[in-house]
């Protein structure tokens, strides 16, 4: 079942409405000529993996519904800022859009010299999906629960380490937030990619790791990793027996890496609403939902206004953590 952005969250974010481009009237009509040429859909990730899958899925549906080719282009590098800058500088005519992820909310504070302003130069079209992380330790570890990790870390500050795929990644921020939420001092061990981080956790050289559910599941099923909790507000369909951090008593812990679609800020409301309707229909399709869940991706739907409010809140949330921990890019 597709989940919308929770209503209580949207209500709580009402104070962000002044940040939302185009939050006023939506009375404008869709131009009769739109679209009359191919649309570019960029994303800042390498081909393969969930981000690529979501982008191409939406690209295919847009092409079907709009009757024009949708050219999907991978522009990886620099934490998706290459792709984002291309879209931020593009005309707001609906012919250049992008799929972005949680780093769209982290980059403004982690990379202060960006050539664009995420909130002024872009507007959200829709939140499309979430990819929950799971907290794992080696199957050979004597640690048996999240509470035991916390107890050991409090007993001996600096004795618990966590791996990540690099500074500012969702798995790094999940580990950092775990430390602040539990009041513990953890040692961050960044790697160039998630694979070597996982191997060192399996071997016991690093204590723990937050990894995407789909990435960690094979090693969990093989009995090489123990899963203690998922980082999202809801349990994962792929690991239904693994509780959330909130269920274990850590109510303020919610790290839900997300995928959303963006357009230049000057894009008319009518075009954004048309694109939003197609994305919502895609994420609501039962067959597509099943395909997404098999990839470890949990489909969501939202209005454009809800998406803008959510991204604004995420920018504030992660900006505060980056500042508090004095994080710097690698």
pLDDT digits (tens, 9 = 90+) for 191-221: 998 999 999 999 999 999 999 998 999 999 9
Paired tokens of 317: 């949330």
> How far apart, in Å, do the first and last CA atoms of the chain sit?
39
pTM given for the model: 0.86
Rounded (10°) angle between helices 50-66 and 286-294: 160
Could you tell me the pLDDT band of residue 179, with boundaries at 50, 70 and 90? very high
Per-residue pLDDT, 281: 98
Rounded (10°) angle between helices 50-66 and 269-284: 120
Give me the residue spans of the domains in the chain. 3-131+257-325, 133-230
Per-residue pLDDT, 28: 53
Integer Cα distance of 110 and 105 in angstroms: 9
Per-residue pLDDT, 11: 43
pLDDT single digits (tens) 280-326: 999 999 999 999 998 889 999 999 999 999 999 999 999 999 998 88
From residue 37, alpha-carbon distances to 65, 70, 94, 125 in Å are: 14, 9, 10, 20
CATH of region 133-230: 3.40.190.10
Per-residue pLDDT, 30: 76
Paired tokens of 246: 């909130």
Could you tell me the pLDDT band of residue 21, with boundaries at 50, 70 and 90? very low
Give the mean pLDDT of 253-272.
95
User: Does position 260 have pLDDT exceeding 60, yes or no?
Assistant: yes
pLDDT single digits (tens) 64-119: 999 999 999 999 888 889 999 999 999 999 999 999 999 999 999 998 889 999 99
Rounded (10°) angle between helices 304-325 and 103-110: 40
| Chain centroid offset of residue 232 CA | 11
Lowest mean pLDDT among 19-33, 148-162, 277-291: 19-33
Q: Which residues contact 169 (CB under 8 A, 6 or more apart)?
A: 103
The closest alpha carbon to 260, from 292, 194, 294, 306, belongs to: 306
Could you tell me the pLDDT band of residue 16, with boundaries at 50, 70 and 90? very low
Paired tokens of 8: 């209580």
Per-residue pLDDT, 253: 86
Stronger pLDDT, 149 or 170, i.e. the higher one: 149
Per-residue pLDDT, 78: 80
Tokens 């092409």 identify what position? 63
| Same fold? 3-131+257-325, 133-230 | yes
Q: Which CATH number fits domain 3-131+257-325: 1.20.120.530, 3.40.50.2300, 3.40.190.150, 3.40.250.10?
A: 3.40.190.150
Per-residue pLDDT, 31: 75
Integer Cα distance of 306 and 14 in angstroms: 9
Instruction: Give the residue ranges of DSSP H helices in the chain.
Output: 7-12, 50-66, 81-88, 103-110, 118-121, 146-155, 170-182, 194-203, 213-221, 269-284, 286-294, 304-325
The pLDDT mean for the chain works out to: 90
């Amino acid at each position: 079942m597709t989940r919308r952005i929770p209503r209580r969250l949207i209500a709580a974010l009402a104070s962000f409405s002044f940040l939302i481009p185009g939050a006023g009237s939506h009375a404008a009509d869709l131009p009769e000529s739109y679209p009359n040429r191919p649309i570019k859909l960029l994303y800042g990730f390498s081909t393969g993996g969930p981000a690529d899958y979501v982008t191409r899925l939406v690209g295919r549906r847009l092409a079907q519904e709009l009757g024009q080719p949708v050219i999907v282009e991978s522009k990886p590098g620099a934490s998706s800022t290459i792709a984002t800058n291309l879209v931020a500088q593009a005309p707001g005519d609906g012919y250049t859009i992008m799929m972005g992820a949680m780093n769209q909310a982290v980059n403004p504070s982690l990379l202060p010299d960006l050539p664009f302003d995420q909130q002024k130069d872009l507007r959200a079209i829709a939140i499309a999906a979430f990819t929950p992380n799971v907290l794992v330790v080696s199957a050979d570890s004597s640690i048996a629960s999240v509470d035991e990790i916390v107890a050991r870390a409090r007993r001996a500050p600096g004795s618990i380490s966590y791996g990540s795929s690099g500074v500012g990644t969702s798995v790094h921020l999940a580990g950092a937030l775990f430390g602040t939420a539990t009041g513990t001092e953890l040692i961050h061990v960044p790697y160039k990619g998630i694979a070597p981080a996982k191997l060192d956790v399996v071997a016991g050289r690093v204590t723990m790791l937050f990894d995407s559910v789909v990435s960690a599941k094979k090693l969990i099923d093989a009995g090489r990793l123990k899963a203690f909790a998922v980082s999202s507000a809801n349990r994962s369909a792929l690991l239904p027996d693994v509780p959330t951090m909130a269920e274990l008593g850590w109510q303020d812990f919610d790290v839900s890496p997300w995928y959303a679609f963006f357009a230049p800020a000057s894009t008319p409301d009518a075009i954004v609403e048309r694109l939003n309707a197609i994305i919502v229909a895609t994420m609501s399709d039962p067959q597509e939902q099943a395909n997404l869940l098999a990839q470890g991706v949990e489909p969501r739907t939202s209005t454009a206004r809800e998406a803008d409010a959510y991204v604004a809140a995420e920018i504030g949330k992660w900006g505060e953590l980056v500042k508090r921990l004095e994080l710097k890019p690698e």
